[in-house]
Structure 1
Amino acid sequence: MVNLINYLLQFGQLNQQQIDLIKSKAKVIELKKEDYFSEAGKIARQVAFVDDGILRVCYYNNKGEEITRYFIDENNFAVDLNSFSYQIPSSEYVQAVTDCKLFVFSADALKDLSVTIIAWDSIINAITAKSLIEKVNRISPMLAEDAKARYISFLDKFPQLANRIPLSLLASYLGITQSSLSRIRKNIR
């Protein structure tokens, strides 16, 4: 739980009593590779902090093709924010790419933390803002780059993920076929 507390402390001050309360509200969940943390059509009712492993956010397009939107690795939170905040069915799946260890907070646990810890809401707002900025910065360049540039950009931004993600999922994220990704990888080695 050290990673979670250190992450939160980047965004605000917490005393030992508050840290102990946060620890008491977190539930440890272990997902096996390909297990789902949340599913499309269901309302997201919990938020996860990834302590170990990689999750991916994906959906099915109108042709029934599975599309990977992005990956969430260690020391990041995972939640379908729209579904969680507005209590509406999710349009996305959050699935384990690797075996994962998550610290999970229910909506009630987060409400309790908000009521009890004065700085909690500002910490969560800062984390949310950081995550949204990262999401925009991750998606915007993808729209203008060709496949090779997208792959090289991915390697530059996420070198620790490249060898931990199956090629089929990476190709889906990059918006190309797996055979195209294999050709690109072969040509840049």
Structure 2
Amino acid sequence: MKELVNYILQFGNLNQHQIDLILTKAKEKEIKKEDYFSEAGKIASEVGFIIDGIMRVCYYNNKGEEITKYFIDENNLVVDLESFDNNICSSAYVQAVTDCKIIVFSKKDWQELLNTIIGWDTIVHKIISKALMQKVARRSPLVSEDATTRYLSFMEMFPNVINRIPLSYLASYLGITQSSLSRIRKNIR
């Protein structure tokens, strides 16, 4: 839980009473590799914080191909925000790439924190803004760079992730085939 508290305090100040309240709402949960945290067609009901492991957000395109949008690793929040906030069915899956240990908040408890802790909404807004900026920064180069450059950029941005995810997920994220990824990796060595 210490990781969660340290993460939250990067975005604002809370007193010990407020921190204690947050921790009473937090529940530890384990998600096995390949299990889902949230699923397309269902309403997201929890906000999670990854203590250990990697998750990915993915969807199926109109050809039925699985596409990885992005990865979420340790010390980051995980939630399908649009589904969670608006009570609408999600269009994507959030899946554990590795066995994951996370801290979760139910929708009811999350709402209670928003209603009880003065400034919690500001902290949450800052966390969401940072996550959105990171997502844009990660996705933007994928449009204009060649596959080798995208792979090298990924290695640089995610040194702790690259060797822990299946090549099929990485290839999907980079927008290339697995055989192309294998060729790129072979040429770099």
TM-score scaled to structure 2, two decimals? 0.98
Q: Superposed, which structure 2 residues align to 1:1-189 within 5 Å?
A: 1-189=1-189
| Distance apart, 1:134 and its partner CA | 0.6
Show CA shifts across 1:27-62 (max 9, x none). 111011001000000011111100110000000000
Show CA shifts across 1:123-146 (max 9, x none). 000000001111111111110011
Instruction: State the SS of the aligned residue for 1:68.
Output: strand
Kindly provide the amino acid, as one letter, of the partner of residue 157 in structure 1: M
- Partner Cα distance (1:95, 1:115) in 2: 30
TM-score scaled to structure 1, two decimals? 0.98
- Partner Cα distance (1:6, 1:150) in 2: 32
Kindly provide the amino acid, as one letter, of the partner of residue 3 in structure 1: E
Kindly provide the amino acid, as one letter, of the partner of residue 178 in structure 1: Q
Instruction: State the SS of the aligned residue for 2:152.
Output: helix
Instruction: State the SS of the aligned residue for 2:89.
Output: coil
RMSD: 0.7
- Partner Cα distance (1:106, 1:145) in 2: 40
> Unaligned regions of 5+ residues in structure 1, if any?
none
| Distance apart, 1:90 and its partner CA | 0.3
Kindly provide the amino acid, as one letter, of the partner of residue 60 in structure 2: Y
- Partner Cα distance (1:54, 1:188) in 2: 25
Kindly provide the amino acid, as one letter, of the partner of residue 20 in structure 1: D
> Unaligned regions of 5+ residues in structure 2, if any?
none
Aligned length: 189
- Partner Cα distance (1:132, 1:79) in 2: 12
